Chain A
Amino acid sequence: MMSPLLEIDNLGVTFSTRRGLVEAVRGVSLSLQPGEMLGLVGESGSGKSVTGFAVTGLLDKPGRITAGRVKFRGQDITRASGAELRNLHGANMAMIFQNPRAALNPIRTVGAQIADAVLSHRRLSKQEARAEALKLLRAVQIRDPDRRLDAYPHELSGGMCQRVMIAIAISCNPSLLIADEPTTGLDVTTQKVVMDLLARIVAERGMTTILITHDLGLAAHYCRRVVVMEQGRLVEEGAPQTLFRAPQHAYTKRLVASSPTATSRVGDLVPADEALPVVEVKERPTPAPGTPPLLDVQHVVKRFDDGAAAVADFSMTMAAGESVGLVGESGSGKSTTARMICRLIDPSAGDILFDGYSIAKLPARDFHRSPLRKEIQIVFQDPHESLNPRFTAFDCIAHPLLRLTGLRPGDALRSRVEECADRVGLPRELLSRFPHQLSGGQKARIGIARAIACRPRLLVLDEPTAALDVSVQAVVLQLLDRLRREDNLAFLFVSHDLNVVRMMCSRTIVLRAGGIVEQGESLALFANPQTDYTRELVEAIPHIGSPASLLPA
């Protein structure tokens, strides 16, 4: 057995905050063999990123290593001086970060940034460094590398920026590479391309890698060994197939259960003892023939000022109580379509009928005065940003009631808000709190309560769980599904997560570059895609395999 490249022994990291000391990492021990790719998974706040930063000595100011040792090639680097660390950085260990666009200097060309990294550890002339940068851009398979050398980060796509970041990280051939959520925020097909590239480069150059991610599928797909972290501790470790098929620790079990897979159902995501009681829903009478559909979108087009079409000729119909998924990659026009339907922006052409009434001709800025405004409500993507920070939870939920239903402050309003809070499972005592005093899941519940407060018939959900941890996502999805059944709500569910859409929606529409590629029954569509594009999307999703316990009985 070779001696390990990296040995973490009983690592402890503490952050000093305004509310005192917070232990972010407690007693973590790990060792990595040369050439290994280790997956470090966990939800936000689990300490996985902090562990990565502690290993590379890049912890932010308030954070401090308070216990343990990190031995790199047998040498303890927790007590390394600034100069020693600088020699380690880049030449021996490098990092790849989440949000590649922010991780690159916005006002320096990518060629110059790669050359900077090369020059920091090697004695080369400027020309040689530039040639080296070009070679690295070729290695990360950037198209047209000669021209891209002089491009600025804002001129490149997110996936391209991440390739540049990889080029910077591997520029001095480090032996240890730490990738912190390298593909979070990228489209699933881009994620696959970038991860495949990274895995190949790492294997070719014999680098040891730690892949930090919240996505179990990603870790399972690329790593031989995975460790799970919860609240700063390591809870379980093993090969992904055994770990995710037969998790031992309660937290891992929960994490595995709540990660949506190709076969999971909404009800399976939450452990039985925490699941919401199943409500009996009586059969709704089928509408009389001749009633118009709830929503009828006819050939809508959205053109931007420069003439480019964000959405070209989109049509769909929806019945009451139906749930339709809208999937596609960034730039496919799914959000633009959703915004036109909930009348936040005006279509350039085409018509939108709600309940048989045309609503496309009403300008978006006047639509809030229309009586149909309360029929079509929206749940926004980011539960943190979409709540007014100066409104309490109560105010947030009461606001649409005051504006749209004519309720006045008083007992009626209070009881209506409390009823909404009850329905979304938000404890009443939290109603007086402000958003910053609540967790992400609680804020998501407020967003949902606000949307259903006016008893709408159509709910447009724009990536409602994209910013949430999987265990919170599981609960929120289940809640949404129940609300839909109880109220016979129609859902237009916009998401990039195909597994979520498949569970939540009976029908799915796949968009690409502003046009419909494919549509049909969700299960059939994903099981047997008819177009190459949909197949590509489906196949790009990393899977953790189908753990036996979750297969439908």
Chain B
Amino acid sequence: MGTIGATLIRAGRRFLSSLPALFGVLVFTFLLMRVLPGDPAVFFASGPSAGNEEIEVVRKQLGLDRSLPEQLVIYLHDVGRGNLGRSMMTGQPVAKDLRQRLPASLELTLTALVIALIAAVPLGVLAALRPNSLIDHSVRLFCSLGVCVPTFVSGLLLIYVFYYLLGLAPDPTGRIDVFASVPPARTGFLMVDFLLAGDVEGWWAAARQLMLPAFTMALFVIAPLARITRASMLVSLGSDFVRTARSVGLSRWQIVVTYALRNAILPVITIAGIVFSTMLGANVLVEKVFSWPGVASYALDALLVSDYAPVQGFVLLMASIFVAVNLLVDVLYGIADPRATVA
């Protein structure tokens, strides 16, 4: 109880201290969008032939004729009420768009992270157990390749091999086959919704659809995770308490897993949190290659047509997720390491 309480207090403090940063992000993106070139009024007026009057009308509609501070106050007021504005591109409220697309991104990123962790931790441990052996060098080579090859290239390669050559993977467009029936959206996570609807066949189809993009994304992040696992495993294995464990004759499994890995996992948790947050935003390439209807590709499309509201909404969403993930890492850290105290 004591440690859990301390962890919660610490998490709460972290959350409070991250609020100013969130506010900063809000203001900063607002200003950034205003100084970027491109006039949304011109863009969204009916066409290139639109006259000045029409453009002026659109500008007034959008509120762009007011001064910058005024716009900022209106924007903050709206955000405070949960209104992120309306997307000119889709014609829908941004909050609704994001709510529809976030589960797609989260589902993909979470799956990719789980795949990456399942692959990276054992690889890192193996490499650390036999440093400079053949295994170690193979892991290093694999990691280097994973980082060197851009995701859109590895994504296309995977599509070429598994869809075109082998025919194992389904048509790599979107989350689910266009003609398949979609389950009632309860969580937005297809894998969960299919299960809730009791549609095993649909679940399997969605899972197959998910595999290629998830592996593409995982390939890219296995490297940092495996490297940090290896490095901290090496430290752990060379430590005094592992020597103690050996001196009393504990089994190899217990020495490696209970003593060395449990201690070595702490930095891996931190890195996994950072990796997750980066993946969520940076997987726009993967989303584009696989026509995945996620938030990152949505924000990119909006940015290309100077649609302010979606981009601002996206950045705010990412910042909030970053804060949430950091809180989660804090809590996990507190559980994994009894030495972490209120500080």
Binding site for B on A (CB under 8 A): 56, 58, 60, 85-91, 94-95, 97, 99, 102-108, 116-117, 120-121, 152, 154, 165, 168-169, 171-172
Instruction: Name the A residues within 8 Å of B336 (CB-CB).
Output: 107
A103–B241 CB distance below 8 A: yes
B262–A169 CB distance below 8 A: no
B249–A58 CB distance below 8 A: no
A301, chain B: closest CB distance, angstroms = 25
A86–B249 CB distance below 8 A: yes
Give the number of residues in B that approach A within 8 Å (Cβ atoms).
23
* Interface residue B337 (Cβ < 8 Å from any Cβ of A): yes
Segment of B183-191, B250-258, B307-315, B319-327 in the binding face: B250-258
B254–A116 CB distance below 8 A: yes
B241–A169 CB distance below 8 A: no
Q: Quick one: which of B272-325 are within 8 Å of A by CB?
A: none
B249–A102 CB distance below 8 A: no
Besides A102-B240, A107-B262, A108-B262, 20 new A-B residue pairs in contact (Cβ under 8 A), listed by A number: A56-B247, A58-B246, A60-B238, A87-B249, A89-B249, A90-B247, A90-B248, A95-B244, A99-B240, A102-B241, A106-B241, A106-B337, A107-B338, A108-B258, A116-B245, A120-B249, A169-B247, A169-B248, A171-B248, A172-B248
B249–A91 CB distance below 8 A: yes
* Cα-based distance from A143 to B336 in the complex (angstroms): 27
Given A58-B247, A89-B249, A106-B263, decide whether A152 and B241 contact each other with a Cβ distance below 8 A: no
Which residue of chain B lies nearest to A178 when distances are taken between CB atoms in the complex?
A: B247
Which residue of chain B lies nearest to A151 when distances are taken between CB atoms in the complex?
A: B338
Instruction: Name the B residues within 8 Å of A87 (CB-CB).
Output: 249
Instruction: Name the A residues within 8 Å of B337 (CB-CB).
Output: 106-107
Most chain A beta-carbon neighbours within 10 Å: one of B239, B248, B250: B248
Q: Which of B238, B244, B250, B263 contacts A107 (CB 8 A)?
A: B263
Residue pairs across A and B with CB atoms within 8 Å: the count is 81
Which residue of chain A lies nearest to B339 when distances are taken between CB atoms in the complex?
A: A154
* Interface residue B259 (Cβ < 8 Å from any Cβ of A): yes
A134, chain B: closest CB distance, angstroms = 18
Instruction: Name the B residues within 8 Å of A154 (CB-CB).
Output: 338-339
Instruction: Name the B residues within 8 Å of A58 (CB-CB).
Output: 243, 246-247
B174, chain A: closest CB distance, angstroms = 44
Between-chain CB contacts (< 8 Å), 15 pairs:
A56-B247, A60-B238, A87-B249, A89-B248, A94-B247, A97-B247, A99-B240, A103-B244, A105-B241, A106-B337, A106-B339, A116-B245, A116-B258, A152-B339, A171-B248
Instruction: Name the A residues within 8 Å of B263 (CB-CB).
Output: 105-107
A152–B338 CB distance below 8 A: yes
Q: Which of B241, B243, B249 contacts A88 (CB 8 A)?
A: B249
* Cα-based distance from A121 to B249 in the complex (angstroms): 8
Most chain B beta-carbon neighbours within 10 Å: one of A60, A85, A91, A107: A107
Instruction: Name the B residues within 8 Å of A103 (CB-CB).
Output: 240-241, 243-244
Q: Which of A94, A104, A106, A120 contacts B250 (CB 8 A)?
A: A120
B240–A90 CB distance below 8 A: no
Instruction: Name the A residues within 8 Å of B338 (CB-CB).
Output: 106-107, 152, 154
Instruction: Name the B residues within 8 Å of A102 (CB-CB).
Output: 239-241
B6, chain A: closest CB distance, angstroms = 13
A165–B262 CB distance below 8 A: no
* Cα-based distance from A102 to B263 in the complex (angstroms): 13
Instruction: Name the B residues within 8 Å of A88 (CB-CB).
Output: 249
A177, chain B: closest CB distance, angstroms = 11
A120–B339 CB distance below 8 A: no
Q: Quick one: which of B329-343 are within 8 Å of A by CB?
A: 336-339
Given A97-B240, A107-B339, A152-B339, decide whether A89 and B246 contact each other with a Cβ distance below 8 A: yes
* Cα-based distance from A126 to B3 in the complex (angstroms): 24
Most chain A beta-carbon neighbours within 10 Å: one of B243, B244, B247, B251: B247
B259, chain A: closest CB distance, angstroms = 6
Instruction: Name the A residues within 8 Å of B245 (CB-CB).
Output: 105, 116
7 shortest A-B CB distances, which residue pairs?
Answer: A89-B249, A90-B248, A90-B249, A102-B240, A117-B248, A105-B241, A95-B247
* Cα-based distance from A104 to B249 in the complex (angstroms): 15
A55, chain B: closest CB distance, angstroms = 11
Instruction: Name the B residues within 8 Å of A169 (CB-CB).
Output: 247-248
Given A107-B337, A108-B258, decide whether A117 and B250 contact each other with a Cβ distance below 8 A: yes
* Cα-based distance from A120 to B259 in the complex (angstroms): 14
Instruction: Name the A residues within 8 Å of B258 (CB-CB).
Output: 108, 116
Which residue of chain B lies nearest to A121 when distances are taken between CB atoms in the complex?
A: B249
Instruction: Name the B residues within 8 Å of A86 (CB-CB).
Output: 249, 251-252
Cβ proximity bits B196-228 to A, threshold 8 Å, 1 near / 0 not: 000000000000000000000000000000000
Instruction: Name the A residues within 8 Å of B254 (CB-CB).
Output: 116, 120
B150, chain A: closest CB distance, angstroms = 38
* Cα-based distance from A154 to B262 in the complex (angstroms): 17
Instruction: Name the B residues within 8 Å of A108 (CB-CB).
Output: 258-259, 262
A94–B241 CB distance below 8 A: no
Instruction: Name the A residues within 8 Å of B243 (CB-CB).
Output: 58, 97, 103
Q: Which of B238, B239, B246, B250 contacts A116 (CB 8 A)?
A: B250
A171, chain B: closest CB distance, angstroms = 7
* Cα-based distance from A95 to B252 in the complex (angstroms): 18
B244–A165 CB distance below 8 A: yes
A101, chain B: closest CB distance, angstroms = 9
Instruction: Name the A residues within 8 Å of B339 (CB-CB).
Output: 106-107, 152, 154
Which residue of chain A lies nearest to B266 when distances are taken between CB atoms in the complex?
A: A107
* Cα-based distance from A165 to B244 in the complex (angstroms): 9
* Cα-based distance from A104 to B247 in the complex (angstroms): 12
* Cα-based distance from A58 to B240 in the complex (angstroms): 11
* Cα-based distance from A108 to B244 in the complex (angstroms): 13
Which residue of chain B lies nearest to A99 when distances are taken between CB atoms in the complex?
A: B240
Instruction: Name the B residues within 8 Å of A90 (CB-CB).
Output: 247-250
Instruction: Name the B residues within 8 Å of A99 (CB-CB).
Output: 240
